[in-house]
Amino acid sequence: MSRKSAERKFNYTADEHQRELVSLLKQFSYGHHLDTVFRDFVEMAALAISNRVDRAQYDAREKRYMEIVGKYKPEEVKRFPAMFAALTGTFEVRVQGMLDGSGVGLTDVLGETYMMLGISNDRCGQFFTPYAVSKLMAGLLGGDVAARADAQGFARVQEPACGAGGMIIATAEAFHEAGVNYQQALHATCVDIDECCVHMAYVQLSLLNVAAMVVHGNTLSMQVWGHWYTPAHVLGGWNQKLKMRRAWDALRGLLDGGERDELEGDGGVPVPPPVVELVVEPEPETAQVALHEHADVAVLERPVDVVDTAGLADMFEEAVGAQPHANAFFEIVDQLALF
């Protein structure tokens, strides 16, 4: 998307909070490069969120936070909390719009703002996928994946070049449209080589209460420089859930060698319960809005008929499985972050 196209889209779709965010950013332009201010803002927001839940990395991240603050005058520093409040406000508007069906749904707020301001690295080929395209792609796969998540406890999504997290946001919206609570049934592992993108993705997924590990790394060279856990990941105990899922997948892989059918025929292999049990209303015609235990974001939970089909999700998994390099990288990420 060109800058002019991004500006037209922004003028048409931005809410008052997003406009306030851009206005506050531009107030720095007299003494700072806009690119630097934006990068500092998203990093400070990421550091502030992380330091509320990830005590293991607190000292280094608090030091980095104070280094960034030291670059600005006291009156300028006061704008950063105001910008974060504006960003939070726009997500509140969009989540509420998703819930009430008013037509104002989720979007890649920071990615769109980044492109609209013209501070992306065009020379390196840095262009974010328009959210409409991400939503279309998520919609093609989301129903099958969400149904499996509802049946199995949760689904994992792995994004090797996440940008600002637009594809994961679109997947969360697809889960909602399929009647599945993404705050309980979705876990994302996101990777990007650009540290600014890592911070943007982390902040947005944190505000949407998506359980995720956001990794600063390179999926091609298989290097990992850092990782960020969203509050939903930490408070939801997802490290343990992912370890349990890995153990179960390993056991299932052993049984799939032929012993599984034999033992199941004798009734000798009990099927373990789902890692996460989703709460659904007992009557199909009812639906209610509920708050996640550790979230300030309301989500809509409603029942969904789970059908065990070999659909687009199977095709997607087979395609990913055919790329051993990507699988090996995410295996490294899991080993570094979970164990």
Question: Can you read off the two tokens belonging to residue 158?
Answer: 């792995």
**pLDDT digits over 94-124, tens only?**
999 888 877 788 999 999 899 888 876 655 5
Please give the average per-residue pLDDT across 232-238, as a whole number: 94
Question: Can you read off the two tokens belonging to residue 176?
Answer: 């909602």
Distance CA(187)–CA(172), nearest Å, equals 10
Q: What is the predicted pLDDT for the residue at 328?
A: 77
**Own/partner pairs for 254-261, CB < 8 Å, 24+ apart?**
none
Q: Is the pLDDT of residue 333 over 60?
A: yes
Q: What is the predicted pLDDT for the residue at 308?
A: 46
Run of H or E including 6: helix 3-13
Q: Kindly report the pTM of this predicted structure.
A: 0.76
Please give the average per-residue pLDDT across 227-241, as a whole number: 94
Looking up tokens 């890995």 gives: 246
**pLDDT digits over 163-206, tens only?**
999 999 999 999 888 888 999 999 999 999 999 999 999 999 99
Using 50, 70 and 90 to split pLDDT, how confident is the model at 287?
Answer: very low
Nearest to 105 by CA among 200, 19, 21, 175: 175
Q: What is the predicted pLDDT for the residue at 273?
A: 42
E strands of the chain, at which residues? Answer: 155-159, 186-192, 211-218, 223-229, 288-291, 298-301
Please give the average per-residue pLDDT across 124-145, as a whole number: 76
Write the single-letter amino acid at 223. Q
**pLDDT digits over 316-326, tens only?**
445 444 455 66
CA 297 to chain centre: 14
Cβ-in-10-Å burial (0-12, 13-18, 19+) of 91 comes to buried
What phi and psi values does residue 278 have, to the nearest 5 degrees? -85, 145
Pairing mode, strands 186-192 and 211-218:
parallel
Nearest to 284 by CA among 299, 304, 301, 300: 304
Q: What is the predicted pLDDT for the residue at 137?
A: 85
**End-to-end CA separation in angstroms for the chain:** 40
Using 50, 70 and 90 to split pLDDT, how confident is the model at 78?
Answer: very high
E strands of 141-239, at which residues? Answer: 155-159, 186-192, 211-218, 223-229
Distance CA(53)–CA(231), nearest Å, equals 6
Q: Is the pLDDT of residue 288 over 70?
A: no
- Strands, sheet with 155-159, edge to edge from the N-terminal-most edge strand: 155-159, 186-192, 211-218, 223-229
Distance CA(44)–CA(46), nearest Å, equals 5
Distance CA(98)–CA(328), nearest Å, equals 36
